Amino acid sequence: MESPNKKLWIKTGSFFILAGIVVFVILLTKGTKDISKQLIRFEAPSTQTLELTEGHYNIYHEYKTFFNNVAYNQSENDLGPATLQLTDSEGSNIQLSSPIGSSTYSFNYQNGYAISSFDIESAGVYTLEVESITSNKKFILAIGHNIFEILFKSIMFSIIVLMVLVGVGIVIILRGLGIMKR
């Protein structure tokens, strides 16, 4: 018959393993939701005043998304020809370039792909003017830093927390079974 002390060790270890799994799922879910909070989203064609920090940014076309309680369900090709012009507070143009590689995302009912990128050398207020050349159809654009870097950090943090809690749980169980001594 198992001693009550042994059962306590096993239950405590199991609790840590279960807690690790639960915390992993919560952190992963929260991490993907936080990504959309880091994007500056707006309806276009329009002119937007943006407060940007130093760094590299992508401009994404969100072709399937919800924005201001409106569903946008467009195909990736619905954007059509559009002009984008980014200027700093003094009216100087900021160079827009093609995004590096294929940058797409699909999370939290938001699907988008990068249509342009730019670098900001100093924090400040910038103006983005977006015009549609062929259509008056509204579409959603989002601006943000590299989504994959943010997602990667969130996933890695979640995995580390999972490994630590599961590891602690396993050590406690092994200790309770007498396999692992002090």
For 5-21, what is each residue's pLDDT tens digit? 888 999 999 999 999 99
In sequence order, what E strands does the chain have? 40-44, 46-52, 55-67, 70-73, 82-87, 93-94, 104-107, 110-120, 124-132, 139-144
Domain hosting 107: range is 39-144
Task: Find the distance separating the first CA and the last CA of the chain, reported in whole Å.
Answer: 23
Residues 61 and 140 in one domain: yes
Residues 182 and 98 in one domain: no
The number of distinct structural domains making up the chain is: 2
Which pLDDT score is estimated for 80? 66
Among 65-79, 83-97, 154-168, which stretch is predicted with the lowest mean pLDDT?
65-79
With tokens 């760094």, the residue in question is 55
Residues 21 and 46 in one domain: no
Q: Whole-number mean pLDDT of the chain?
A: 85
Residues 134 and 163 in one domain: no
pLDDT at 111 over 90: no
Q: Given the DSSP bridges, would you call strands 40-44 and 139-144 parallel, antiparallel or unpaired?
A: antiparallel
Q: Which residues pair with 66 in a beta bridge?
A: 71
CATH number for the domain spanning 70: value is 2.60.120
Q: What is the 3-state secondary structure (H, E, C) of 72-118?
A: EECCHHHHCCEEEEEECCCCCEECCECCCCCCEEEECCEEEEEEEEE
Residues 133 and 56 in one domain: yes
pLDDT at 110 over 70: yes
Residues 117 and 67 in one domain: yes
pLDDT digits (tens, 9 = 90+) for 145-182: 877 777 788 889 999 999 999 999 999 999 888 776 65
Residues 133 and 157 in one domain: no
Residues 50 and 105 in one domain: yes
Residues 29 and 64 in one domain: no
Alpha-carbon dihedral angle through residues 17, 18, 22, 23, given to the nearest 10 degrees: -30
Residues 118 and 156 in one domain: no
- The mean pLDDT of 76-105, rounded to a whole number, is 81
pLDDT at 1 over 70: no
pLDDT at 123 over 70: yes
Which pLDDT score is estimated for 176? 85
pLDDT digits (tens, 9 = 90+) for 13-46: 999 999 999 999 998 888 777 776 778 889 888 9
- The model scores a pTM over 0.75: no
Q: For residue 97, with 0-12 CB atoms within 10 Å meaning exposed, 13-18 middle and 19 or more buried, which class applies?
A: exposed
